[in-house]
Amino acid sequence: MINYKDFQELFEDAASKNKKIYQMSEQREADITEISVKEVREKVKINLNAMKEAIKQGLKSKEKSMSGMCGDDCAKLLERYKGGNSLFSKTYQKVLTYAFATIEQNLRMGKIVACPTAGSCGIVPAVLIAMAESCDADDESLVNSLITAGTIGQLVSNKLALAGAVAGCQSECGVAAAMAAGGLVQMYDGTNEQILNAAALALKNIMGLICDPVAGLVEVPCVKRNAFLAIHAITAAELAFAGIKSVIPIDEIVDAMKQVGELMSSKLKESSEAGLATTKTGIEISQKLAQKWCSKD
């Protein structure tokens, strides 16, 4: 059993055994937990079903969050698409609406899968499930993609804590985009090299993203950020399939992200002490919510 310390070690071991990343990871998980690969995959299916249910419930609801700031963006998109208006294809429409549906379920305190975090929970499900529906991929293919995505998140977390309070939103939505990009390449039967390149492209092009939640809530700008980075992930996968490579290897990108996180001011790491949280409007919202909730007490 090998606990891979980085992406290069995993890549080399997979190449020596002529296996895909998900095959290496499911066997490793089976060895660690002392269960069969089949049981590992069944556990992943539970998460897959939870993702599908979050999307299903999110698509049906217009319920606002307790703050009133968010909750009906998915409904607005669905209404726009109902009228035949869109700049996007049907598949991309699904990606956007699924991202909103999932993250809005999170702010309503619904059941979601943190992938890798609750604040970034809409990206992986939106990309993988919407694209699977587009290409008629079955659940077994989706499980392969989710294991691949999870492996990417786990290897990044070996060096970088996946928390906005530690390294900004690059370590939450940024990592989620990398996970989704790699998982999507697996869905379309890309090579291990293409999978890691897609993840690298997604990560390096979102490096430095701060975490500046208005009023300290995982709503603004978090909700819309999920939708934007879902599209970002697909872009990374498309570039990887075209043979466009990241000049900087993924392990070095993760090292750079860690460095950037350490250099980032604490005011830009989930403290709501800078960025959008301290704009005139951000402060007004925070004060109004504080007054509202204090009056209830």
- Enumerate helices (H) and strands (E) in the chain, giving the number of each: 13, 0
Of 143, 74, 140, 76, which Cα lies nearest the Cα of 103?
Answer: 74
Give yes or no for residue 293 having a pLDDT over 90.
no
Per-residue pLDDT at 1 exceeds 60? no
Which amino acid belongs to residue 118? A
| The pLDDT value given to residue 167 | 98
Summarize the confidence of residues 78-90 as an average pLDDT: 95
Residue 269 pairs with which residues in a beta bridge? 211
Question: Pick from 74, 77, 79: which is nearest to 55 by CA?
Answer: 74
Mean pLDDT of 211-221: 97
Tell me the C-alpha distance between 259 and 22, whole Å.
Answer: 29
- Distance (Å, rounded) from C-alpha 43 to C-alpha 246? 33
Q: Say which residues have a Cβ less than 8 Å from residue 190's Cβ, sequence separation at least 6.
A: 198, 237, 240, 241
* Across 227-251, average pLDDT: 98
Tell me what the mean pLDDT of segment 86-96 comes to: 97
Mean pLDDT, the chain, integer: 97
Level-2 CATH architecture, domain 7-296: Orthogonal Bundle (1.10)
Residue 295's pLDDT band (boundaries 50, 70, 90)? confident
pLDDT of residue 77: 97
Kindly tell me if the per-residue pLDDT of 257 is higher than 60.
yes
Asked if the model's pLDDT at residue 169 lies above 80, the reply is yes
Q: How far is CA 110 from CA 56, 59, 61, 72, 217, in A?
A: 12, 13, 11, 15, 16
The residue ranges of every structural domain in the chain are 7-296
pLDDT grade for 296, boundaries at 50, 70 and 90: low
Residue 102, token pair as written in the block: 């999932």
Q: Kindly state the average pLDDT of the residues 215-227.
A: 98
List pLDDT tens digits, range 101-139: 999 999 999 999 999 999 999 999 999 999 999 999 999
**Block residue for tokens 């979102």:** 206
Residue with tokens 């390096």: 204
- DSSP character for 64? P
Mean pLDDT within 172-191: 98
For residue 297, pLDDT over 70 is answered with: no
* Lowest pLDDT segment from 30-34, 109-113, 271-275, 291-295: 291-295
pLDDT tens, position by position, 3-39? 899 999 999 999 999 999 999 999 999 999 999 999 9
